[in-house]
RNA sequence: CGGGGCGUGGCGCAGCCCGGUAGCGCACCUGCUUUGGGAGCAGGGGGUCGGAGGUUCGAAUCCUCUCGCCCCGACCA
């Protein structure tokens, strides 16, 4: 067992904290709720950025950057929006040694500053659609924080688009939640449910919110990404109009969508084990690490030269040779395991002699000898196997822990054990949802897109429902 | 905001009850031996104990106030 890591069975929450700290992903900063993301953690974020950014650009979006300071009055322009964010905003009242005329809010999200700007960018239907994304930090003063899952300041991307019609905006919001789904599945190896939030759970200021929800190893749900159809709410608040083909002035239709460093928390809680971090190969900053083994200077030269020879034509970012000589091989094995490197390669004098290496996969611990010839191809296959296997295991877990329940009594009895519950729940008014939250500390996570038509009585109010929703405890 | 915990070399902790001028492990530096699952020995450097005030000949230790962080619950990506 790894040193100093609480087991999941013992205390899941403490296990998570131990992983983050011991795998050297992040540490607490001097300010409450803030964290320093260390190179190992940031390397994962960079992989997330690179791959998502590509997906955004492939779907026609471009990047820009808007400032983090927002005039306080901007926030107040959209009533629902203000209400949603006011309590968690950090406000700058002094700068340059004096009190500011108007306080500046540190962005909790950028809708307001962006729509104030779009007003000047949009005048004709020819300016639409406007498809912009930004990578940024935002700040939300939460009561309770957790490393990566909920920090006072966090990194994210926020897409903000403007469209000529309701239908186009709807299509965009729908398209982007599917980009997130695809990213979660193929890069994070994290299966997700795709669906719509209830009115109670939707973004303040949106017509509706789409989401992807993942299940962590303890059975709790994690909202991993959201996409909002904002309708004309912000266009009206910031007076953003365009002239259509019929020379009519129209308010534009908007969307916004985002994922954050929370994804790293999701990745950890989906795949890691009691020995440390497990990183899906596609997000691993160092997918393959060589640990050379030697007893003398001669052996060191022999072994490291062999490792260099094997990797001569490889992408330098696809592997690392751990040449540190202050640590013994055993220490390095344990350390790379703790840090989640998907594949470790042990290479010592015996291997050099046989022109082979020992390959160890992080997820299963399986250890096999492989010939040095054609190693790269074998590793690529193995990395793919690991990626697929992680996904398959997570998917199996999510499916086996999704239950169909009809009675509220049964729900109350079982919700504490975790899992997703397919239930009839009337979300057309807040009543049932409120009771659910008060009585079971769980919420409706989403109305899945693929929920089949199925009639039944709400398990709380008895009112008729047309399909089931997913309820669960969540992070 | 409520409950719990903590603040002492970089990290983790002991010392506090019964005041006497700071100790242990890890890490770090030097040297030698080691190196296929978290090396060993020897030598060495580094802190005035979260902050302020008070009691006292003397405070990490006692008293008062204060600041901060973490964890658990009520709000949220």
Question: How does DSSP assign A409-437, residue by residue?
Answer: HHHHHHGGG--EEEE----SSHHHHHHHH
Which nucleotides of chain B are near protein (any atom < 7 Å from a CB)? 1, 28-29, 34-39, 68-77
Mean pLDDT of chain A: 95
C1' (B59) to CA (A321) span, angstroms: 53
What nucleotide is nearest A4 when CA is compared to C1'?
Answer: B12
Tokens linked to A430: 């807040």
What nucleotide is nearest A345 when CA is compared to C1'?
Answer: B36
Position of tokens 């400032």? A67
Phi/psi for A50 (5° steps) reads: -55, -45
| Backbone φ/ψ region at A391: left (φ over 0), alpha (ψ -120 to 50), beta | alpha
C1' (B46) to CA (A149) span, angstroms: 37
Where b means 16+ CB within 10 Å and e means fewer, A184-196 reads: bbbbbbbbbbbbb
Tokens linked to A405: 């329940």
Strand segments, DSSP code E, in A310-355 are 319-321, 343-347
Going from the C-alpha of A102 to that of each of A64, A70, A72, A262, the distances in angstroms are 26, 10, 7, 32
Same fold, A12-271 and A286-381: no
What nucleotide is nearest A16 when CA is compared to C1'?
Answer: B71
C1' (B33) to CA (A335) span, angstroms: 24
Give the domain ranges of chain A: 12-271, 286-381, 402-472
- Whether the CB-CB separation of A63 and A135 falls below 8 Å is answered with yes
The pLDDT tens digits of the residues spanning A79-104 come to 788 888 888 899 999 888 889 999 99
C1' (B6) to CA (A10) span, angstroms: 22
What nucleotide is nearest A475 when CA is compared to C1'?
Answer: B76
**So what's the pLDDT on residue A86?**
81
Structural element, H or E, at residue A63: strand A62-63
For the stretch A78-83, contacts whose Cβ atoms lie closer than 8 Å and that sit 24 or more positions apart, written own/partner, are A78/A111, A78/A112, A78/A205, A78/A233, A78/A234, A78/A237, A80/A204, A80/A205, A80/A233, A81/A111, A81/A112, A81/A204, A81/A205, A81/A233, A81/A234, A81/A237, A83/A204
Q: Which residues of chain A are modeled with pLDDT < 70?
A: 1-3
What is the Cα–Cα distance from A229 to A166, expressed in whole angstroms? 9
Complex ipTM > 0.95: no
- Whether the CB-CB separation of A216 and A269 falls below 8 Å is answered with yes
**So what's the pLDDT on residue A1?**
46
- DSSP letter string over A141-200? --SS-BTTTB-SEEEEEEEEEEESSHHHHHHHHHHHHHHHHHHHHHTS----EEEE--TT
C1' (B2) to CA (A263) span, angstroms: 31
Q: What residues pair up with A72 in beta bridges, in sequence order?
A: none
What is the Cα–Cα distance from A37 to A370, expressed in whole angstroms? 36
Q: What residues pair up with A231 in beta bridges, in sequence order?
A: A254
Q: A286-381, what's its fold?
A: Rossmann fold (3.40.50)
CATH architecture of A402-472: 2-Layer Sandwich (3.30)
Looking at domain A12-271, its CATH class is: alpha beta
Closest-CA residue to A253 (of A266, A242, A263, A267): A242
**So what's the pLDDT on residue A357?**
98
The pLDDT tens digits of the residues spanning A252-310 come to 999 999 999 999 999 999 999 999 999 999 999 999 999 999 999 999 999 999 999 99
C1' (B31) to CA (A325) span, angstroms: 16
């Amino acid at each position: 067992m790894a040193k100093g890591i609480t087991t999941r069975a013992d205390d899941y929450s403490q296990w998570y904290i131990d992983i983050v700290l011991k795998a050297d992903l992040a540490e607490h900063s001097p300010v409450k709720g803030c964290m320093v993301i260390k190179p190992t953690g940031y390397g994962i974020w960079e992989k997330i950025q690179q791959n998502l950014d590509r997906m955004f650009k492939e779907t026609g979006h471009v990047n820009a950057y808007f400032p983090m300071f927002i005039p306080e009055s901007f926030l107040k322009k959209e009533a629902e929006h203000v209400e949603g964010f006011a309590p968690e905003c950090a406000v700058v009242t002094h700068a340059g040694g004096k009190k500011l005329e108007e306080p500046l809010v540190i962005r909790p999200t950028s809708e307001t500053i962006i729509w104030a700007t779009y007003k000047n960018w949009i005048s004709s239907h020819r300016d639409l659609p406007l498809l912009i994304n930004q990578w940024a930090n935002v700040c939300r003063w939460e009561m309770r924080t957790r490393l990566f899952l909920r920090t006072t300041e966090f990194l994210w991307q926020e897409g903000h688009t403007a469209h000529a019609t309701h239908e186009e905006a709807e299509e965009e919001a729908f398209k982007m939640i599917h980009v997130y789904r695809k990213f979660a599945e193929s890069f994070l190896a994290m299966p997700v449910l795709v669906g719509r939030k209830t009115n109670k759970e939707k973004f303040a200021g949106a017509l509706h919110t789409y989401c992807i929800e993942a299940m962590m190893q303890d059975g709790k749900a994690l909202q991993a990404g959201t996409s909002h159809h904002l309708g004309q709410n912000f266009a009206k608040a910031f007076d953003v109009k365009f002239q259509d083909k019929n020379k009519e002035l129209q308010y534009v239709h908007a969307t916004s969508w985002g994922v954050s460093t929370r994804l790293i928390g999701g990745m950890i809680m989906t795949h890691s084990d009691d020995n440390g971090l497990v990183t899906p190969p596609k997000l691993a900053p160092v997918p393959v690490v060589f640990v050379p083994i030697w007893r003398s200077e001669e052996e060191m030269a022999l072994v490291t030269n062999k490792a260099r020879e094997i990797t001569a034509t490889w992408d330098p970012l696809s592997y690392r040779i751990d040449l540190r000589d202050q640590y013994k091989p055993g220490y390095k094995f344990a350390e790379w395991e703790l840090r989640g490197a998907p594949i470790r390669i042990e290479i010592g004098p015996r291997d050099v002699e046989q022109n082979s290496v020992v390959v160890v996969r992080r997820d299963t611990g399986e250890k096999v000898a492989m010939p040095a010839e054609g190693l790269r191809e074998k590793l690529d296959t193995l990395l793919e196997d690991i990626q697929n296997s992680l996904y398959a295991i997570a998917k199996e877990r999510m499916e086996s822990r999704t239950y169909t329940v009809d009675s509220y009594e049964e729900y109350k009895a079982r919700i504490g054990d975790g899992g997703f519950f397919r239930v009839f729940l009337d979300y057309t008014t807040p009543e049932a949802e409120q009771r659910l939250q008060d009585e079971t500390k769980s919420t409706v996570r989403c109305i899945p897109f693929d929920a089949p038509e199925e009639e039944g009585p709400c398990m709380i109010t008895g009112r008729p429902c047309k399909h089931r929703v997913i309820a669960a405890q969540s992070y």
